[in-house]
C-alpha cells in the first residue's frame, strides 16, 4: 500500500538470506542505487540493518531484540513451557509448540529430546504445513471456507510416500482431525519420524496453539508412540485450562 515502506521492508527478507552490498540490494529491488541507499540508511538508523566492515549490509541486532519481544508477548508460550518440559521429562521425546498466523504455521517453542531449548535454534521456522501434526490441528480449527481457501492455495510437496498429496486429501484429513481432537504425522515429513499432537484452546474454545511429540522409528514404533496420546492430550488440556484462566490469574 505504501510503496516506499514496501520497498524498504522487502530488503529484510533479502538480507536474511545473507549479506548483500548496495548494488545487489538496488538490483533485487529494481530501484536506483541512490534510492536503495536511502532506504538502507533508514533501516540502519533503526538498527534493523547493520553494516559490516566490507560495507555489505546484514540484518541488525535490533531485529533480534524485536523478535525476542514479539515472542515474549505470546503468552501461550510462557504458560505452556513448563508443561512441555515436564512432558519431555516423562516421555523423553522432542516436544514442539506452534501457532497459526497469517497463512503460516510457526514453531514458537521446542524442547529437545536431549538438550535444553536454545533460543533461535529452530524456533521461528515455518512448519511443513501440509503434513505436520501441529499444522493439521491449527488449520482444522479454521472455518470451512477458510480451510478450503488455504487448501487450494498450498503446494503439496511429497516429502515421503506418505505425505498428503493434494487439497482434497488434506481437507479430508482436517475433517478427521477436527472431529477427533488430535492429529498425527506418521512418516509424512521424514520417513522415519512419527508425531502425535493435540490442540491448546482458549476460553472461547478456539485453538490458539498446538503441541506435538516427535520420535524416530528407531526409538519407538508408531504404535508405541500412540500409547502416549492420553498423556499428550492431558498436557494440552492442562495448558488450555491455565491459558483460559481457570486457574488464579495474576496479570493485569
Partner DNA sequence: GAGTGTCGTTGCATCATGTGCAACAGTCAT
Partner DNA sequence: ATGACTGTTGCACATGATGCAACGACACTC
Contact present, 99 and 76 (Cβ < 8 Å): yes
How many CB atoms within 10 Å of residue 91? 18
Give dist(CA 6, CA 21) in Å, integer. Answer: 19
Give dist(CA 247, CA 232) in Å, integer. Answer: 20
Binds 234, which of its own copies, DNA, none (CB < 5 to 8 A, cut-off by type)? none
Interface residue with its own copies, options 204, 205, 218, 223 (CB under 8 A) = 204
Give dist(CA 190, CA 159) in Å, integer. Answer: 7
Interface residue with its own copies, options 21, 32, 34, 68 (CB under 8 A) = 68
Stretch touching its own copies by CB under 8 A, among 128-136, 166-174, 218-226, 237-245: 237-245
Give dist(CA 12, CA 48) in Å, integer. Answer: 8
Stretch touching DNA by CB under 7 A, among 10-18, 33-41, 64-72, 148-156: 33-41
Of residues 39 through 98, those in contact with DNA by CB under 7 A are 39, 55-56
Helix, strand, coil percent content, the chain, rounded in steps of 5: 45, 20, 35
82 binds its own copies (CB under 8 A): yes
Min dist. Cβ of residue 108 to its own copies (A): 7
Comparing CB distances to DNA, the nearer of 5 and 158 is 5
Give dist(CA 187, CA 113) in Å, integer. Answer: 18
Binds 73, which of its own copies, DNA, none (CB < 5 to 8 A, cut-off by type)? its own copies
Min dist. Cβ of residue 94 to its own copies (A): 16
- Total chain residues near its own copies (CB under 8 A): 72
137 binds its own copies (CB under 8 A): no
Cell numbers at 224, concatenated = 508405541
Q: Which residues of 102-238 form beta strands (DSSP E)? A: 104-111, 183-186, 193-201, 207-216
181 binds its own copies (CB under 8 A): no
Helix (H, G, I), strand (E, B) or coil at 166: coil
Min dist. Cβ of residue 84 to its own copies (A): 13
Instruction: Report the interface residues with DNA, using CB under 7 A.
Output: 2-7, 21-23, 31-35, 37-39, 55-56
Amino acid at each position: 500500500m505504501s510503496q516506499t515502506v514496501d520497498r524498504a521492508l522487502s530488503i529484510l527478507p533479502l538480507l536474511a538470506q545473507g549479506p548483500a552490498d548496495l548494488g545487489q540490494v538496488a538490483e533485487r529491488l529494481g530501484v536506483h542505487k541512490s534510492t536503495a541507499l536511502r532506504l538502507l540508511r533508514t533501516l540502519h538508523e533503526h538498527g534493523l540493518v547493520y553494516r559490516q566492515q566490507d560495507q555489505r549490509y546484514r540484518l541488525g541486532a535490533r531485529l533480534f531484540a524485536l523478535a525476542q519481544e514479539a515472542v515474549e508477548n505470546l503468552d501461550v508460550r510462557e504458560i505452556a513451557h513448563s508443561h512441555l518440559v515436564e512432558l519431555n521429562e516423562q516421555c523423553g521425546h522432542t516436544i514442539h509448540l506452534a501457532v497459526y498466523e497469517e497463512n503460516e504455521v510457526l514453531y514458537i517453542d521446542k524442547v529437545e529430546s536431549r538438550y535444553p531449548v536454545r533460543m533461535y535454534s529452530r524456533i521461528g521456522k515455518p512448519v511443513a504445513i501440509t503434513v505436520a501434526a501441529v499444522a493439521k490441528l491449527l488449520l482444522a480449527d479454521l472455518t470451512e471456507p477458510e480451510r478450503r481457501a488455504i487448501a487450494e492455495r498450498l503446494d503439496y510437496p511429497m516429502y515421503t510416500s506418505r505425505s498428503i498429496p493434494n487439497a482434497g486429501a488434506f481437507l479430508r484429513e482436517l475433517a478427521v482431525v477436527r472431529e477427533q481432537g488430535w492429529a498425527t504425522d506418521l512418516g509424512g515429513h521424514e520417513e522415519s519420524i512419527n508425531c502425535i499432537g493435540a490442540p491448546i484452546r482458549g476460553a472461547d474454545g478456539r485453538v490458539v496453539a498446538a503441541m506435538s511429540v516427535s520420535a524416530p522409528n528407531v526409538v519407538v514404533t508408531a504404535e508405541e508412540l500412540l500409547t502416549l496420546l492420553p498423556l499428550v492430550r492431558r498436557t494440552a488440556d492442562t495448558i488450555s485450562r491455565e491459558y483460559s484462566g481457570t486457574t488464579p490469574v495474576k496479570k493485569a
